[in-house]
């Protein structure tokens, strides 16, 4: 097996089923997440335009606190349910599958209800005083109502991913939720509700999405309705509880800059920084989309000790993720000031943090699914220690840089922490499993990006001046199409041909379905 997988043509044929699952699942998930990312970006623009930088910053501080509480309330079970369903589904153990699902839903719902009640009763006094904003307490109190809904939604959708079904997460979390949230914000704004309308829309839309997620889960489990459940409480909690620490650390790692800006600086700076950060995080949708289908696959392959298949798929997935992420980063680099201007003139000063944070996300994409590999291979305790160290580093850097440098310091602190964490996990995966994601084809990807970017810089001097929104709408699709064209002209690898073949097949099936519908 080891010798055979060194030949890319033989490796592609031997891993055909896994490549097909990744290409189909990640392709559909990525398409949905791109649309969902567009909806989320639209939602952010609508909210920012409605509230302004200061009130938007206040909302984001409240949302950060509630999100941390939500992660704690889910007890790490959204990751545990994926792993255990993937394992038991491979052996067709329906009783244990049903037990894992019921336990995960009940435990996360109960914990979230307790935490939500505590925040509703005491959050107004404690957090409003901590952030020096008495009006933050009301925002926290209302947002705390969303915690049980968030627990049900995330755990239910994660359960469907354990069966390698990606579409329900796309439909619910990435399409339905932001669309309904945006529609409700606009409706409440028309009625004269501004900040209160944004907060209420968040809670209501999350409740509706939770109902939809439970419906999707029920549709995924018709064969389990008459099966007695077998609970594995000890195993499930022993796996998930370390991941709770990982999840909390991960969330603090991501949102420390917002909390520090809220404490040391003004809510206006929080608003500007979060507009930049949310935009930069759009590039992470690519890695997350591939991880969603790759995670249960790693768990299954590692359980069957097929490490060479993991190694080959690791290389393929990382190259695909990095290639798409590089194109997205270069678009942001080219249009950074236009993107921030779309939020309003007071947000243009946020373009340097946008570039720094987007570069950090490119590094994140460039190391691939290292965190997922550590967790799904049973090394969740190591992952917990990694996140604890990275979060401590991020806290220290933000504490040193934010008071004096504001949003610029927050961006640099976060970028250094993200880069350090990802490089550390990359070394650990190689040290423990002797696998890495790189080959010589990365030089070609980087060269294609450089050529495309230089061409558009030159083109920019000859085109007439355009508004910020017009530049974004025109340049983005042209840049992505040009990057793909240059890449194809430079040569296509065997796994790339397989990916394009799967996508072409899906496109033709879609066209045939349309013709049948029309007839």
Query: Which pLDDT tens digit goes with each residue over 328-344?
Result: 999 999 998 888 888 88
- Residue 76: left (phi > 0), alpha (psi -120 to 50), or beta? left
Report the pLDDT value the prediction gives residue 400, as an integer from 0 to 100.
92
DSSP assignment, residue 7?
S
Lowest mean pLDDT among 29-38, 114-123, 271-280, 313-322: 29-38
Report the pLDDT value the prediction gives residue 110, as an integer from 0 to 100.
87
**Measured distance CA(265)–CA(131) in Å, rounded:** 10
**Residue ranges in 3-93 assigned as alpha helix (H):** 8-14, 16-73, 77-90
Average pLDDT in the chain:
78
- C-alpha radius of gyration, the chain, whole number: 23
Lowest mean pLDDT among 55-59, 195-199, 354-358, 472-476: 55-59
Where does the pLDDT of residue 350 fall: very low under 50, low under 70, confident under 90, or very high at 90 and above? confident
Q: What is the DSSP string of 63-77?
A: HHHHHHHHHHHTTTH
Residues 90, 98 contacting (CB under 8 angstroms):
no
Share of the chain above pLDDT 70, in %: 74
**Measured distance CA(310)–CA(323) in Å, rounded:** 20
Residues 360, 419 contacting (CB under 8 angstroms):
yes
Report the pLDDT value the prediction gives residue 2, as an integer from 0 to 100.
42
Tens digits of residue pLDDT in 267-321: 788 888 888 888 888 888 777 777 766 666 666 666 566 667 767 777 777 888 8
**Measured distance CA(292)–CA(269) in Å, rounded:** 33
**300, two tokens:** 């299954």
Residue 73: closest CA among 166, 153, 139: 153
Residues 417, 393 contacting (CB under 8 angstroms):
yes
Higher pLDDT, 53 or 474: 474
**Measured distance CA(93)–CA(90) in Å, rounded:** 8
Residue 55 has pLDDT above 50, yes or no: yes
**Measured distance CA(191)–CA(121) in Å, rounded:** 29
Task: Output the CA–CA distances (angstroms, integers) from residue 127 to 140, 247, 263, 420, in the order listed.
Answer: 8, 22, 11, 31
End-to-end CA distance of the chain: 49
**Measured distance CA(92)–CA(286) in Å, rounded:** 31
Three-state helix/strand/coil letters over 315-371:
HHHHHHHHHHHHHHHHHHHHHHHHHHHCCCHHHHHHHHHHHHHHHHHHHHHHCCCHH
Residues 349, 483 contacting (CB under 8 angstroms):
no
Tens digits of residue pLDDT in 390-426: 889 999 999 999 998 888 999 999 999 999 999 999 9
Report the pLDDT value the prediction gives residue 147, as an integer from 0 to 100.
92
Residue 426: closest CA among 284, 325, 315: 315
Taking residues 177-198, report their average pLDDT. Answer: 89
Taking residues 232-252, report their average pLDDT. Answer: 70
**311, two tokens:** 């190694």
**Measured distance CA(510)–CA(82) in Å, rounded:** 29
Residue 307 burial (CB < 10 Å; 0-12/13-18/19+)?
A: middle
Lowest mean pLDDT among 1-5, 236-240, 383-387, 441-445: 1-5
DSSP assignment, residue 407?
H
Backbone torsions φ then ψ of 328, nearest 5 degrees: -65, -40
Residues 339, 472 contacting (CB under 8 angstroms):
yes
Report the pLDDT value the prediction gives residue 305, as an integer from 0 to 100.
67
Domain hosting residue 237, numbered range: 4-518
The count of structural domains within the chain is 1
Lowest mean pLDDT among 237-241, 470-474, 498-502: 498-502
Higher pLDDT, 10 or 272: 272
**Measured distance CA(117)–CA(122) in Å, rounded:** 9
Taking residues 102-131, report their average pLDDT. Answer: 76
- Pick from 204-213, 362-371, 482-491 the range whose average pLDDT is largest: 204-213
Residue 254 has pLDDT above 90, yes or no: no
Count of alpha carbons within 13 angstroms of residue 217, beta-carbon side: 25
Higher pLDDT, 448 or 83: 448
Residues 6+ away with beta carbon under 8 Å from 91: none
């Amino acid at each position: 097996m080891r010798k055979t997988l060194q030949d890319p043509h033989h490796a592609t044929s031997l891993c055909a089923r896994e490549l097909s699952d990744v290409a189909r699942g990640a392709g559909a998930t990525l398409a949905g997440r791109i649309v969902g990312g567009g909806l989320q970006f639209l939602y952010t623009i609508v909210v920012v335009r409605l509230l302004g930088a200061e009130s938007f910053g206040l909302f984001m501080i409240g949302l950060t606190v509630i999100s941390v509480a939500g992660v704690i309330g889910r007890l790490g079970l959204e990751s545990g349910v994926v792993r255990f369903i993937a394992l038991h589904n491979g052996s067709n153990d329906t009783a244990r599958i049903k037990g894992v699902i019921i336990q995960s839903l009940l435990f996360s719902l109960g914990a979230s209800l307790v935490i939500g009640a505590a925040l509703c009763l005491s959050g107004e006094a404690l957090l409003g005083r901590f952030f020096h904003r008495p009006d933050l307490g009301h925002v926290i109190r209302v947002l705390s109502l969303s915690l049980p809904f968030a627990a049900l939604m995330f755990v239910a959708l994660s359960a469907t991913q354990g069966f390698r079904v990606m579409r329900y997460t796309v439909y619910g979390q990435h399409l339905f939720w932001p669309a309904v949230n945006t529609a409700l914000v606009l409706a409440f704004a028309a009625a004269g509700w501004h900040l209160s309308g944004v907060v209420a829309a968040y809670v209501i839309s999350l409740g509706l999405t939770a109902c939809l997620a439970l419906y999707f889960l029920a549709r995924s489990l018709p064969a389990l309705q008459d099966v007695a459940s077998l609970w594995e409480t000890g195993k499930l909690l022993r796996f998930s509880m370390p991941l709770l620490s990982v999840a909390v650390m991960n969330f603090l790692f991501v949102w420390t800059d917002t909390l520090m800006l809220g404490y040391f600086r003004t809510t206006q700076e929080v608003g500007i920084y979060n507009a930049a950060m949310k935009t930069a995080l759009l590039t992470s949708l690519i890695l997350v989309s591939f991880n969603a289908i790759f995670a249960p696959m790693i768990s299954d392959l590692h359980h069957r000790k097929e490490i060479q298949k993991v190694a080959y798929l690791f290389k393929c997935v990382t190259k695909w993720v990095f290639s798409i992420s590089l194109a997205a980063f270069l678009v942001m680099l080219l249009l950074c000031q236009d993107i921030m201007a779309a939020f309003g003139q007071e947000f243009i000063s946020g373009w340097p943090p946008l570039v720094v944070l987007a570069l950090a996300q490119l590094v994140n994409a460039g190391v691939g699914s290292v965190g997922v590999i550590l967790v799904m291979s049973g090394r969740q305790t190591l992952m917990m220690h990694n996140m604890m160290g990275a979060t401590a580093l991020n806290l220290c850097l933000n504490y040193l840089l934010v008071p004096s440098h504001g949003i610029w310091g927050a961006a640099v602190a976060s970028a250094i922490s993200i880069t350090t964490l990802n490089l550390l996990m990359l070394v650990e995966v190689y040290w423990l499993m002797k696998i890495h994601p790189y080959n010589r084809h990365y030089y070609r990807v980087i060269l294609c990006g450089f050529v495309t970017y230089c061409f558009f810089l030159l083109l920019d001097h000859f085109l007439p001046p355009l508004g910020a929104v017009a530049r974004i709408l025109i340049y983005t699709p042209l840049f992505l199409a040009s990057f793909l064209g240059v890449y194809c002209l430079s040569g296509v690898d065997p796994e790339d041909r397989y990916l394009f073949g799967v996508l072409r097949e899906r496109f033709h099936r879609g066209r045939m379905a349309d013709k049948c519908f029309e007839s």
